[in-house]
Structure 1
Amino acid sequence: MKIAYPMRIDAFKQPGGDLYQIQAYIDAGQRIERSTAVPFAGKVIVDFKEDFTEYDIVHLTNIDRPVDAFAYYLSAKRAGKPIVLSTIHHSYQEVNRYEREGRGGVVGLVSGNLRFPQLELLRSMIRCAESPQLIKPTWTVMRRGVYEIQRALLSNANLIQILSKKERIDIAKDFGELESNHFVCIRNGCESSPPGTAAKNEGHRDLEVCVVGRIEARKNQIKILEALEQLGLSGVFIGKENLNHRQYCREFKSRIARSSSKYLAGLSHAETLRYMRRSRVHVSASWFEVSSLVDLEAYGEGCAIVSSQCGGTHELLGENAQYVDPGDSQDIERGILAAMGRTERAHGVMLGKDWGEVGIQLSELYCHLLGRRPNKTLSHRTPSTCEI
């Protein structure tokens, strides 16, 4: 099978969790053994001119970038291809709160008074300056309406793939109920170190806190840094700068330079896991998330976890993490203190599955859509899926 994965056209220029997820899908599909499932090849596409004729399935991503997604959707329909839609949808209630309270500066003053459709069209018009191919699809979405386009994507996809039960609930709140048999929940995989590695490292955790994530207002690193300073703790911050959040990045780097914490910029995945194994606590306090991979990886590396109450981490970690309000500094401090006080550790526990298992689930989903074998993904519930 050959799968097309069209993504936002700046996916490689501004890599994020969505690109990591799709690249992991492609790698997992190629590693499938034929005795287990049907292998599939995939390609990330960031060009609206791509011809989908040679592909078996078009797997769209991210309804929160409707301009990009709808342009690819139209091409997929013209080619007569089945469509899987990974929504990667964030709660608009949480997004709107972030725009009002988390942005800051002149941008925050403007965005805090706009609704998502207005904001997304404004962002798309700005993106057109760098990517002229966005002009025509932006005009299309402007004429038809952002919500209407998003509802069209949800209603016309053959299958909708979500990452958490919370994502399904958020979609219902923001767009209304859809037929439940259109949805399949396949959680992200989690690649941790070999079993026992984190446990062997116990007693050698020379770092108090690590914070992993792209440096941007949404990820809230400045507020985390402030909480650490208030508590007299230090941390290591790992992640590339979001070039669209230059002012936030400058302020963050200025503040951390005057603190006891360190900014290590972007590191490889292996290096990041090594820092997790050295740290007592991992902290994330994002204003909105779908499913945080770093929370799970840090837990698997033996860190005590402080996670944002926004997102689906609680569906996997339950009481094994502290959950904090990203807009409440004192609550972030409380969560860090509670995590620092924990005496037990995760000891390299794997949560649910690795990416290889995700690849098998996707293979079954694609085969079902093409009518090549009975559907197992939707009917057979395993620790890898989540009830919806």
Structure 2
Amino acid sequence: MKVLFISRASLYKVPGGDTIQMEQTAAHLQRLGVRVDIRLADDLNIDYAQYDLLHTFNIIRPSDILFHLQKSRLPLVVSPIYLEYGTASNEAYNPMLKWLMNRLGNHRGEYLKNVGRAVLKNEHIRSWKYYYWGQHKSIAYILDHCAMLLPNSENEFKRLKRDFPVAGDYSVVPNAVDLELFHFEETTRDRNNTTVLCAARFEPRKNQLNVIRALNHTDFEVTFVGAPAPNHHQYYQQCKAEAADNIRFIDFTTQDQLAALYREHKVHILASWFETTGLSSLEAAACGCNIVITDCGDTKDYFGTEAYYCIPDNLQSIANAVIAAAAAPYHKTLLQRIQQQYSWQHTAKETLIAYQRVLNK
């Protein structure tokens, strides 16, 4: 079996959780005997005839999918990674931008951003139909012509089905952790209860600014790891400007260094406006952190009752969740569940089963 992975043109220039998901899924599928090629959406020189399946990622960028879906004529599998950016008009900390996003709504706002990227960043929209159909109709078309959806959780599919009733056959394939790199070590279990870590790219959706405001001038020693997203240097500078002396910033780290940081801290926080998973939270939990995470999105499908949930726009809620997580013992039952259900080996096996279902139809 040979599979073509297609994702956004900026997959490596602006890496994110989807970059990790694609690379790790591809690597572990290859261990199972599946040949996988990763190509970017702006690649126009693809010999589709050599592939059995087309697997695309990020349904919120339908313009990246339409061209290859229609040109390849291959059975399509989609990992939707269905973020609801509309729920985070709050992420637009600029008042005028926030007003505009609220007026436009979720899908029209995303349409405007996609067209803006094409004009300002030369991220070409290859399918003219996207300009004509817009965001919502383009997504609906893809879902109607999709052989199988691979949402990261049951709740993600429910949200997608709510917004697009045409969404059909699916199989939940969870996000996962590289357990060879991110793992718990007994020797690091005694940690300073005042240590808090946040590993995430700096952008308003990740809500670092409210975490800073909630934990400024407290007894917590807070470390932020991550560089600013390309369009959010101003947000990064605002975070640094408001940070008190108990806050520090690390803008670059290797994966090995990140794993070491997870093992040094008692709490990991991701108080985002929306998360489908929160990959860094899974990694941190696997390394022994107690988890504080947003209650917005699909996070409860992963963390259940073994995390401390916060409301992104409530500073007291953020602070209370961190205090509770810092005082609590480590949730080893969460570690056991991660080891059993959220390894990339498990994810690859579930993906292969889905591929076989599609090809056997």
Distance 1:241 1:204 in 2: 28
1:134 partner SS: coil
- Partners of 2:41 and 2:65 within 8 A in 1: no
Report the counterpart of residue 118 of structure 1 in structure 2: 108
Please state how far the C-alpha of 1:196 moved relative to its aligned partner. Answer: 7.6
3-state DSSP of counterpart to 1:319: coil
Cα offset, 1:232, TM superposition? 3.5
Tell me the equivalent position of 2:59: 63
What is the CA–CA distance in structure 2 between the aligned matches of 1:63 and 1:194, rounded to whole Å? 29
2:305 partner SS: helix
- Deviation digits for residues 168-210 of structure 1 (CA, Å, limit 9, x no counterpart): 111122112644xx11101112223579843221124486100
> 2:181–2:259: 8 Å Cα contact kept in structure 1?
no
The change in CA–CA distance for 1:39 and 1:69 in structure 2 (over 3 A counts) is closer
| Equivalent pair of 2:196/2:268 in contact (CA under 8 Å) | yes
2:3 partner SS: strand
Query: Matched residue of 1:6: which SS?
Result: strand
RMSD: 2.3
For residue 382 of structure 1, what is the aligned residue in structure 2? none
CA distance in 1, matches of 2:262, 2:83: 26
Query: Contact conserved, 2:184 with 2:286, CA < 8 A, in 1?
Result: no
State whether structure 2 residue 258 is matched by structure 1 residue 272. yes
* 1:346-366 C-alpha deviation (Å, 9 max, x unpaired): 395451141122222222322
Q: Structure 1 residues 254, 140: CA separation in 2 closer, same or farther (over 3 Å shift)?
A: same
Which deviations, in whole Å up to 9, do the C-alpha atoms of 1:249-293 show, x marking residues without a partner? 22123233x432111113122211110110011101111111121
Residue-by-residue CA offset, 1:287-322 (whole Å, 9 max, x unaligned): 111112111211111111101112322223211111
Matched with 1:29 is: 29
2:300 maps to what in 1? 314
Residue 83, structure 1, aligned to residue 76, structure 2: yes
Tell me the equivalent position of 1:3: 3
Partner of 2:37: 42
- Name the CA distance, whole Å, in 2 between partners of 1:162 and 1:82: 17
Tell me the residue number matched to 2:208: 221
Deviation at 1:339, TM superposition (A): 0.7
Q: Percent identity among equivalent residues?
A: 23
Alignment of 1:66-215 (within 5 A): 66-77=62-73, 81-91=74-84, 95-99=85-89, 101-105=90-94, 106-130=96-120, 132=122, 134-137=124-127, 139-176=128-165, 178-179=167-168, 182-192=169-179, 197-205=184-192, 208-215=195-202
Preserved contact between residue 182 and residue 284 of structure 2 (Cα < 8 Å): no
Is the CA contact (8 Å cut-off) linking 1:63 and 1:150 kept in structure 2? yes
Deviation at 1:135, TM superposition (A): 4.5
Distance 1:144 1:207, change over 3 A: same
Question: Is residue 231–residue 333 contact of structure 1 (8 Å, CA) maintained in 2?
Answer: no
Name 1:383's counterpart in structure 2: none
1:283 to 242, 248, 269: 269
Uncovered stretches (5+) of structure 2, i.e. residues with no partner? none
Helix, strand or coil at the partner of 1:53: helix
Letter aligned with residue 207 of structure 2: N
The superposition leaves residues 106-135 of structure 1 with CA deviations (integer Å, 9 ceiling, x where unpaired) of 432322322123222221222123554625
Question: What SS does the aligned partner of 1:184 have?
Answer: coil
In structure 1, how many angstroms separate the alpha carbons of the residues matched to 2:240 and 2:124? 33
So what's the TM-score if we normalise by structure 1?
0.85
CA contact (8 A) 1:326 1:332 kept: yes
Indicate if the aligned counterparts of 1:299 and 1:349 stay in contact, CA closer than 8 A. Answer: no
**Whole-Å Cα distance in 1 between the matches of residues 44 and 346 of structure 2?**
33
1:247 to 228, 234, 248: 234
Q: CA deviation at 1:104?
A: 1.1
Per the TM alignment, residue 68 of structure 1 is displaced from its structure 2 partner at its CA by 1.4
> For the Cα contact (< 8 Å) 2:273–2:296, is it kept in 1?
yes
Give the whole-Å Cα distance in 2 for the aligned partners of 1:44 and 1:207: 44
CA–CA separation in structure 2 for the residues paired with 1:288 and 1:282: 16
Stretch of structure 1 that moved more, 192-201 or 268-277? 192-201
Structure 2: how far apart are the matches of 1:209 and 1:173? 36
Which residue of the partner structure matches residue 16 of structure 1?
16
Counterpart contact for 1:192–1:350, Cα < 8 Å: no
What do the CA deviations read for 1:31-68 (whole angstroms, capped 9, x no partner)? 23xxxxx4332323232413222222110111111211
Aligned length: 356
Matches within 5 A, 1:338-377: 338-346=324-332, 349=336, 351=338, 352-371=341-360
Change (3 A) 1:134 1:274: same
Give the 3 Å change call, closer, same or farther, for CA 117–204 of structure 1 in structure 2. Answer: closer
Unmatched segments (≥5 aa) in structure 1: 33-37, 376-388
User: What is the match of residue 53 of structure 1?
Assistant: 49
Residue 2 (structure 1) shift? 2.0
Change (3 A) 1:336 1:150: same
Equivalent in 203, 221, 244 of residue 234 of structure 1: 221
Give the conservation status (yes or no) of the 8 Å contact 2:284–2:291: yes
